[in-house]
Chain A
Amino acid sequence: MTQRRPRGSRDLSVLATIFRYELRMLLRDTRTILIAVVAPLVILPAWILISNRVERSEERRLEQAEYRYAVTGSQATWAREQIAQALEWEDPDAEEPAGRITFVEADVSDPDSALRAGELQLLVEALSAEEFAAVLEEEVAEARARSGPSEEDAESEESSAASELERLLDDPDFPLGEVRGLRLLFRAQSDFSRNAQDQLEGRLRGLRTVKRDSVFRTRGFPVAAEAVAVVEDQDVASAEKVAGSFLGLVMTPFLLVLMLSGGSIVAADAISGEKERGTLETLLTTAATRREIVRAKQLAVIVVGLAVAVVNVGNLAIYFGLGVLDLPQGLQVGLRAGQTLALLFLFLPLAVLVSSALLFLSGVSKTYKEYQIYFFPLFITFLIPSLAPVLPGMELRSVIAFVPIAGVAVAVRDVLLSGVDWLFASIAFASTGLAGVTMAGWVESSLSNERLISRSELDEADLVGGAALFPRHVFQWFLGFWVLFFVVSLWFGDQLGVRGQILVNLVGIFFGGSLLLLRRYRLPVREALSLRMPRPAAWIATVVGAPSALLLGVALANFVNTYIFPVPEEILRAFGESLSEPALSLGQLVLFVSVMPGVFEEIAFRGVLLHGVRKRMGPWATALTVGIIFGFFHVALFRIAPTAFLGVILAGVVLLSRSLYPVILWHILNNAMSTVPFQLGWLPEDFSPPLWLAPIAAVTLAGSLWVLWKSAAPAAVHGRAAGPPD
């Protein structure tokens, strides 16, 4: 029920009362306070403290240990000499003298198995020049065999080590066969063994440098001063700037996490808890308006969320201040007044959005438990945009300002890094704030939603069963399908190949799942799948509409990639490669990539899914929801948005035409057009339609949709539900 008379908009006493009591009740919930607020305060520093302690004692243990090694090989005597000298050597560049480390040569009969058994930490093989050459060549051959012939994988550590050796071997000046070698064998899974190797190798190398220099000197090696370049680096950024760039990246996500978890303490209880206890109906039958109730609770969520954030930050600050914990190097921020003001300004809409979203979850959940289930997805959804500053090449003044949370996160980074760009900050403020206010409106309407607020809603549908239950279960089913879909592509993708995967997904999951649901809920097939023949004009509209939507979609995707989320070229190309289906012939391409998806995906998404969703939502929300779910069934991250866009249009086509047939053709055409011309070489791989086509496409798309609506199949039983928005 909308509040037609803004009663009490000036009278804040009701709002204040609800707010006051909300906090009072929270403070009396000692268990929640203990677990949600006090426990983290103790746990976090305790954890850091303990891990520091453990680390230090581990270091001491490593220092104080006695390292046992053995020497084998034909050149053992020479090796012992080298080792003895190496242990004497001290690094002249070291800032502090290296701790004394005790190496003891052990006398073992079978050094190999002693090393494996952990009796030895290190085994030194002393090789003669010939043996050493043989070992090197063998290693190169092995590394080559492992990394394969391809040159592209050169970045991998193993093959780069191999190529370094290779170069060494190919170098005619390298005295292969003339120098003896020391091979250090150790066990990487043991800290002690690793440390022994590390220490001895470092000293051996240091010793070698000393010896080489003395050889140069004694031989009178001529070195001209101008032939040597001394390299020195200096960081011109101030400590504040360095700290700012670090803080700028972590501040928004960190605060967001604190506010989400802190605000959740109130939000979970605020509506879903009230439903569960039966107090919501008591509250809703009072003279307080929905708006007052929502605003008061929202205020409580904000206050508690901020309080938890402040307390946690303060807590950490105290520990840093006391020196119990060490600050990351150079992390000292001197915030100027302007910066502080800008940060507060930016975090305000964020707090509003967080509180609205949490209350919205609470509003749509009927129980505490349901709230908890929804919380995690929300958490992730909020966290991801807050990481926007981490994206490479994210510039100020880009369209990202319009993306809620992400805009604020980028603006915050720039406040800490350089200064305040008030235009950008204001847009970020507005977009995030607007999202918050919109969501607050949703909370209000959730309080008028009879399905959500009535407690005595004994699940009649559960009693009736069958089709009545379907709209409520449809999301759970599709979540299940999605998990299955994901697991199949992740774990069996390679074995199945492209065709196998398409078959399993389309026939197994989408078609099989649809049949299962139709049967399980005894859905009326003709009605559920909208199997009605549209008028002939609908076909023409489809043939015109499909390419229009495709063009528009590509243009939008380009726009998004260029201005909103500038995804690096390499990533896009990598995804493009993983998408190409080189194994398919033209016929197979048409069958597997265009016809079959057209039929089976439409049955599943615009048939069964849409049937369930539209019993719960209006046409706009239905199209949007179906589209987004469809998008998520295209696992590659950068395909979600374009397929969701297509999904929304396809759902719209069904809602307008009241028939599944045009949309099947639409989907087939769409997929064929986006693959076949490339396969046949009519278009180059990196073809991108000119931007000026987009507005034309938008117009023809709108026209097609209009024609589809006008030529819709005759209204059937649920004509009202399927009716076009007017």
Chain B
Amino acid sequence: MSADTNPTVQVQGLRKTFYDESRGEVNAVDGIDFDCHAGEVFGLLGANGAGKTTTLRMLSTVLRPSGGRARVMGHDVVLEPEAVRRSLGFYSASTALYPRLTGRETLEFFARINRFPPDRVPARVEELVDRFGIREYERARVEKLSSGMQQKVSIARTIAHDPPVLIFDEPTVGLDVLNALEMVRVIRDLRDEGKTILFSSHIMSEVEKLCDRIGIIHRGRMLAMGTLDELRDLTGEHYLEDIFVHFVTRTEGLESATLGATGELEADDGGRPNAGAGHATDQASESREEGA
């Protein structure tokens, strides 16, 4: 994994279009480009419904892009979905664990189905159990564990097959302060081991602390991208919060002339209505295309 030269994740003109009856086509992700490299944390910063989750789900091959390309470790997400998934670990608030498996079984299960070499699975499980301090409750069912313990098992299962690329989609949502700090620490460690980390959040302080490079995403578009210092230089603002507001107000101002008031539903507190609409109706348009 030689850094700098070969990007581990390449995203070019990636688009995801959902069809919505009342608003017509909605571009949840509207032509996004970025690259990530080994040993860095790339942060996607944006409000709820900005398109972060949709982007990351396309990278994890759960959603199929409407346009553009994305590659993980050189594998195309559309053409080689299994190879892509094999090279990455995906962690999000919606990736739950099997309640009736023990922590240990969980790790073994995910190592195996991610095609980690079978003969090395037991050693790998031991390693993870030690690393995350799961030992004392490794034989308890996940459903019996506290949320902090579950979180540890969950992170461990994400990296069970030792993938080079890790996606953390809003990993701190719903965690208490200590667990959130633990999460940030783990991510930093993983970066230091040379993993590529894609991290998304709407919490400024986390992004500020953790990310080597930041992409500000709003209404499906990448407004700005760079290190924190580069963004500071660009805007003249110091705090990430101000930088974010700077970019967003600038585009809002530009777009209000052309787009009108179409963006109401994408307000910060809508619980991701934008993405939801897409799932609901995209199927229809897709199968129509298939049938045609």
Contact = CB atoms under 8 A, between A and B. Distances in A.
A453 B62 contact: yes
Contact of B95 (A282, A452, A459, A463): A282
B273 A285 contact: no
A532 interface: no
Contacts of B85: 285-287
Contacts of B285: 720-721
B22 A468 contact: yes
B116 to A, nearest CB: 9
A552 B118 CA distance: 60
Contact of A286 (B113, B282, B288): B113
Contacts of B64: 1, 448, 450
List the 8 closest A-B pairs by CB distance, nearest first: A618-B291, A460-B277, A278-B96, A468-B21, A287-B86, A451-B283, A460-B276, A285-B90
B10 interface: no
B98 A279 contact: yes
Interface string B261-275: 000010000111111
Nearest to B23: A464
Interface in A442-460: 448-460
A300 to B, nearest CB: 14
Contacts, number: 190
B291 to A, nearest CB: 2
Interface of A: 1, 3-5, 7-8, 13-14, 17-18, 21, 24-25, 28-29, 277-279, 281-289, 292, 448-461, 463-464, 466-468, 470-472, 614-621, 720-721, 723, 725-726
Contact of A619 (B57, B270, B292): B292
Interface in B191-233: none
A451 B95 contact: no
B55 to A, nearest CB: 14
B96 A279 contact: yes
A7 B97 contact: no
Interface string B86-104: 1010101011111111000
Nearest to A620: B291
Q: Which of B81, B83, B86, B105 has the most CB of A within 10 A?
A: B81
B124 interface: no
Given A277-B96, A460-B20, 7 more contacts: A21-B105, A282-B90, A450-B278, A454-B57, A456-B275, A616-B287, A618-B287
B276 A457 contact: yes
A265 to B, nearest CB: 14
B288 A458 contact: no
Given A14-B115, A466-B22, A461 B284 contact: no
A450 B283 CA distance: 7
Given A454-B279, A460-B280, A21 B101 contact: yes
Contact of A285 (B60, B279, B282, B292): B60
B292 A3 contact: no
A29 B100 contact: yes
A464 B277 contact: yes
B172 interface: no
A286 B114 CA distance: 6
Interface residues of B, number: 64
A282 B53 contact: no
B8 interface: no
Contact of B78 (A1, A287, A461, A720): A1
B4 interface: no
B96 A282 contact: yes
A96 B271 CA distance: 81
B21 A17 contact: no
Contacts of B62: 281, 284-285, 450, 453-454
Contact of B284 (A14, A25, A292, A616): A616
Given A21-B105, A279-B98, A461 B291 contact: no
Contacts of B78: 1
Given A17-B109, A460-B20, A449 B283 contact: yes
B257 interface: no
Contact of A1 (B81, B92, B109, B271): B81
B114, B275, B280, B284 — most chain A CB neighbours (10 Å)? B280
Contact of B283 (A13, A282, A616, A619): A616
Nearest to B96: A278
Contacts of B275: 454, 456-458
Given A287-B161, A450-B279, A726-B292, A460 B113 contact: no
B112 interface: yes
B252 interface: no
B79 interface: yes
A619 B288 contact: yes
A464 B265 CA distance: 9
Nearest to A720: B288
B25 to A, nearest CB: 11
B179 interface: no
B23 to A, nearest CB: 8
A619 B291 contact: yes
A17 B111 CA distance: 10
Contact of A450 (B53, B82, B86, B282): B282
Interface string B54-74: 000100111110000000000
Given A7-B82, A464-B22, A25 B272 contact: no
B97 A279 contact: yes
A455 B272 CA distance: 12
A611 B271 CA distance: 29
Given A278-B96, A287-B114, A451 B292 contact: no
Nearest to B112: A17
B79 A459 contact: no
Contacts of B279: 450-451, 454, 456-457
Contacts of B94: 278, 281, 455-456
Given A278-B96, A282-B95, A287-B86, A456 B276 contact: yes
21 contacts: A1-B78, A17-B109, A21-B105, A29-B100, A277-B99, A281-B92, A285-B60, A285-B62, A285-B90, A286-B110, A287-B85, A287-B161, A288-B82, A450-B62, A456-B53, A460-B277, A460-B280, A464-B22, A617-B284, A618-B287, A721-B285
Contacts of A281: 62, 92, 94-96
Nearest to B57: A454
Contact of B82 (A287, A449, A619): A287
Contacts of B20: 460, 464, 468
Contacts of A29: 100
